[in-house]
Amino acid sequence: FWGGVPMGPPDVILGITEAYKRDTDPKKVNLGVGAYRDDAGKPHILPSVRKAEENLFNRHMNHEYAPIAGDATFTNAVAKLALGEDSPALRNKTNCTVQSLSGTGALRLGLEFVTKHYGGVKELWLPNPTWGNHPQICNMISLPHKKYRYYDPKTHGFDLNGACEDITKMPEGSIILLHACAHNPTGVDPKPEEWKQLSQVIKDQKVLPFFDMAYQGFATGNVDNDAFAVRLFEKEGHHIMLAQSFAKNMGLYGERVGALTFLCPDQETAAKMMSQVKIMIRTIYSNPAINGARIVSEILNNPELNQMWLSDVKEMADRIISMRKELRDGIEGRGNPQKWNHITDQIGMFCYTGLKPNQVERLTKEFHIYLTKDGRISVAGISSKNVDYVAEAIHKVTS
């Protein structure tokens, strides 16, 4: 029985955390994990989240089932957070928004919906590189995926010409995945002008944009700035799909709370879409979990808590920005021969250092610093206590 099931490979990122945990050296540093840490290296509970939990507890709420699509106070608030006050879709009620199992669940549900109901070319174009789970999700549901040029290793920046060239070669009606902000793993985002160009090329090619927004607020510390691309694409008339996650920007990793939105041409289409997404949800998990969604909803719908949250997000983003600066100064200050401006040019939780696999191996073996083989570091794992040690180690393996 089950004899034909082969052993699967372990998850790369979670494997790094396992190796880190086994290491007994007191100097060890985990730069692999994609979760925010405070300056003491500890998981961070946002004060606004704590307050929302207190409010909810005092309300003595019951534990009945949520509606299949999630509670409307949640879905309305999260759609507004992403699309903004002036969103035509929200004004005209032409969006179809459902609660999802965090960002991953939104991507899976959205892409599975595509395989069943999309009338265009069922083919997803992913940036090169992208988050490792994107191609895995496609493989699991037999959705073909291809890559478009995104990161330029020479400049450590965005390859606008390469991306535009590749988009013009995509079959009309295919789907493009875009990281809305704080691209994982590179930390490289298109600038506003570049987003405008991308929007035009994508529109000309009649490609459907699917935004993955896992880090709203984490890139610049401002949730409206970070929603620039999503709002621009809506304004320009794209019928975007959108996956949202509240893992990072509210520190609600384990609560698994997110949302999936489709922008539809009219209310009737939105209603039909909603009916089909609900059928899909019903057969996978029936209806969503309530706790995380209540916290998010409380924060977004209570003006005082909302203000508190905005400053909590900014505080996290600012700590990351200041760690980038200290790391860069630490490496350059040691007279390192390479250029390190990309550490501070890139944004969000991750930095694509440009370290080669053998240098990464030395960091881990000699210095007990853990990161993925592609040289990506989670800047959230750096603190005022270890930044000098990490800078020294990177300097040593690169000079």
Question: What does residue 205 show for φ and ψ, rounded to 5 degrees?
Answer: -85, 0
Q: Which residues in the chain belong to E strands, given as ranges?
A: 29-30, 95-101, 124-128, 145-149, 151-152, 157-158, 175-179, 208-213, 241-245, 257-263, 350-352, 369-370, 376-378
Burial class (CB in 10 A: 0-12, 13-18, 19+), 282: exposed
Q: Give least dist CB 295 to ligand PMP, A.
A: 14
Q: Give least dist CB 292 to ligand PMP, A.
A: 10
Of 90, 138, 132, 147, the residue nearest 114 (C-alpha)? 138
Distances (CA, A) of 115 to 108, 200, 284, 363: 11, 26, 15, 42
212 counts as catalytic: yes
Name the residue nearer to ligand PMP (CB basis): 105 or 330: 105
Q: Give least dist CB 262 to ligand PMP, A.
A: 18
38 counts as catalytic: no
Name the residue nearer to ligand PMP (CB basis): 95 or 104: 104
Whole-angstrom distance, CA of residue 318 vs CA of residue 321: 5
Catalytic residue among 159, 166, 189, 212: 212
Can you tell me which residue has the tokens 């307050």?
A: 51
Name the residue nearer to ligand PMP (CB basis): 13 or 360: 13
Name the residue nearer to ligand PMP (CB basis): 125 or 340: 125
Catalytic residue among 189, 195, 248, 312: 248
Catalytic residue among 131, 195, 309, 340: 131
Name the residue nearer to ligand PMP (CB basis): 270 or 347: 347
Q: Give least dist CB 131 to ligand PMP, A.
A: 4
* Largest interatomic CA distance in the chain: 63
State the residues that interact with ligand PMP by CB under 6 A: 34, 102-104, 131, 179, 184, 212, 214, 245, 247, 258
Can you tell me which residue has the tokens 């990072």?
A: 248
CB 246 within 8 A of CB 265: no
131 counts as catalytic: yes
Q: Catalytic residue numbers?
A: 131, 212, 248
